[in-house]
């Protein structure tokens, strides 16, 4: 198998680059992945995968940080102009840009799922010759949208994996799902796919990422460093008044937001683990001589565990609502995103680690977890649901050289990592009978 899979990976490597650069050039941020989703669906359909699309795999009520209907319609028109395939677009209209592709081998066995994400960031890409995507003609053509986190590579990896699995279908067992998730940035999309049931039949789950500071050639087999998080917008609404003539008639939304902001940073740390609180945006008022009648805060909490994050979140709610009462203003709180903390399944991590050491020579260093806490990932919803129903789950990080850090306007990565990722994921699928046997023998 090793020689044949190596040959297949070598053959598909140029196509991986073509896909990645196309997705990069036509970057689409969360819930706007119309063009990307139609191209992915078309390729998967051509390969013969069973497809579930749009509302079949996304629970409308659990989408977070959803743009306005007007914005969604505008971006859908933009996608059509940029080559979205009309025959698929109706499935994704309105921001239901999720896909689950299933390969049913017809042979007894477990269900294995891989998750990749498709969305770009709300960021303007660097357009200088020092930035390779611009120098080589594939920088984003969409203002304020850029693949600065590698999701263009993730989507290409998902498609490459789909091709390889079809080539080696006769050697596979059970069912294999590839989940193409929208709106990972801001941790907005996974919960809606989880509550739609897309992993309820999954026995083994793998989510992936490239980069994140992990060196080229290194694989992190079981990252558990993700913090639980809740992201929300706070809108205070007061009463405007002339600040000189009738200040007593005003209800100051700006002061409420300022008081809340300062108090949020006074939330105590938790004895059982690390926590975070941040107010990233505070906009208020309209004029120097007007009592501010509105204020907007964009806030996030994080915690090492779900319980710690919930503690910080509840403290934040008390403060935000208290500030409103102090100033006599109304307050509206809108959930914009969330993710959980999740620890990978040790047996599954151990199996993948040994597999990578023995069968993927391109990986020169295998570690179970680097323990680098800071960020959050909503793939944790898939992981926790899989585990809750008796399955096993993990999160893999493939190291690669980066031109700049994630979420930076000059972000780019060594495209060789895509072939390594496809080979590793395909090898996991092909080796599943081995793990199943050992799992049942214990």
Torsion on CA atoms 52, 195, 436, 153, rounded to nearest 10: 60
Q: Give the pTM.
A: 0.93
DSSP string, 280-327: EEEEE-S-TTB---EEEEEEEEEESSHHHHHHHHHHHHHHHHHHHHHH
Q: Is the pLDDT of residue 308 over 70?
A: yes
Q: In the block, which residue shows the tokens 């795999």? A: 57
| pLDDT tens, residue by residue, 315-370 | 999 999 999 999 999 999 999 999 999 999 999 999 999 999 999 999 999 988 76
Phi and psi, residue 299, nearest 5°: -125, 150
Annotated binding site for Mn(2+): 149, 151, 185, 209, 407
Angle at 431 between CA 221 and CA 425, to 5 degrees: 45
Pick the last residue of a domain from 287, 313, 338.
338
DSSP 8-state secondary structure symbol assigned to residue 131: S
Identify the residue with better confidence: 164 or 2: 164
267 is in which domain, residue-wise?
Answer: 228-338
Q: Is the pLDDT of residue 375 over 90?
A: no
Same domain, 204 and 83: yes
CATH code, domain carrying 318: 3.30.70.360
Average pLDDT of the segment spanning 306-318: 97
Assign 339 to helix, strand or coil. strand
Pick the last residue of a domain from 305, 320, 338.
338
DSSP 8-state secondary structure symbol assigned to residue 270: B
| pLDDT tens, residue by residue, 110-152 | 999 999 999 999 999 999 999 999 999 999 999 999 999 999 9
- How many residues appear in the chain? 442
Counting Cα atoms < 13 Å in the Cβ hemisphere of 4 gives: 9
Same domain, 243 and 197: no
Would you state the pLDDT for residue 3?
78
* C-beta of residue 310 within 8 angstroms of C-beta of residue 351: no
Annotated binding site: 149, 151, 185, 209, 407
Taking phi over 0 as left and psi of -120 to 50 as alpha, with beta for the rest, 281 belongs to: beta
Same domain, 154 and 241: no
Same domain, 317 and 385: no
Pick the last residue of a domain from 338, 366, 390.
338
């Amino acid at each position: 198998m090793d020689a044949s899979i190596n040959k297949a990976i070598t053959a598909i490597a140029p196509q991986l680059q073509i896909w990645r650069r196309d997705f990069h050039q036509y970057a689409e941020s969360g819930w706007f992945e119309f063009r990307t989703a139609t191209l992915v669906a078309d390729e998967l359909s051509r390969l013969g995968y069973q497809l579930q699309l749009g509302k079949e795999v996304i629970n409308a009520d659990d989408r977070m940080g959803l743009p306005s209907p007007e914005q969604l319609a505008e971006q859908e028109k933009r996608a059509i102009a940029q080559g979205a395939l009309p025959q698929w677009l109706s499935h994704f209209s309105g921001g239901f840009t999720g896909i689950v592709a299933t390969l049913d081998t017809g042979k007894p066995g477990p269900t294995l799922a891989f998750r990749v994400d498709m969305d770009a960031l709300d960021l303007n890409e660097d357009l200088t010759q020092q930035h390779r995507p611009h120098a080589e003609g594939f920088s984003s053509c969409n203002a304020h949208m850029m693949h600065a986190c590698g999701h263009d590579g993730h989507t290409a990896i998902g498609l490459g994996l789909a091709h390889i699995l079809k080539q080696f279908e006769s050697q596979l067992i059970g069912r294999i799902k590839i989940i193409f998730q929208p709106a990972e940035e801001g941790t907005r999309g996974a919960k809606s796919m989880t509550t739609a049931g897309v992993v309820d039949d999954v026995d083994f789950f793998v989510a992936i990422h490239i980069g994140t500071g992990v060196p080229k050639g290194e694989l992190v087999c079981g990252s558990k460093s993700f913090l639980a998080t809740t992201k929300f917008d706070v809108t205070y609404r007061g009463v405007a008044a002339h600040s000189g003539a009738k200040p007593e008639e005003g209800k100051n939304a700006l002061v409420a937001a300022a008081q809340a902001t300062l108090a949020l940073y006074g939330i105590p740390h938790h004895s059982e683990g690390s926590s975070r609180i941040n107010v990233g945006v505070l906009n208020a008022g309209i004029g120097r001589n007007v009592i501010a009648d509105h204020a907007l805060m964009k806030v996030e909490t994080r915690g090492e565990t779900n319980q710690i994050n919930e503690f910080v979140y509840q403290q934040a709610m008390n403060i935000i609502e208290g500030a409103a009462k102090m100033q006599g203003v109304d307050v509206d709180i809108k959930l914009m995103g969330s993710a959980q903390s999740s620890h990978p399944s040790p047996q599954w991590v151990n199996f993948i680690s040994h597999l990578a050491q023995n069968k993927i020579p391109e990986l020169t260093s295998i570690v179970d977890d680097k323990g680098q806490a800071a960020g959050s990932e909503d793939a944790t919803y898939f992981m926790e649901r899989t585990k809750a129903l008796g399955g096993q789950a993990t999160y893999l990080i493939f190291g690669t050289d980066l031109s700049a850090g994630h979420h930076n306007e000059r972000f780019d990565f060594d495209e060789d990592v895509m072939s390594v990722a496809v080979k590793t994921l395909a090898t996991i699928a092909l080796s599943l009978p081995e793990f199943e046997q050992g799992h049942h023998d214990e």
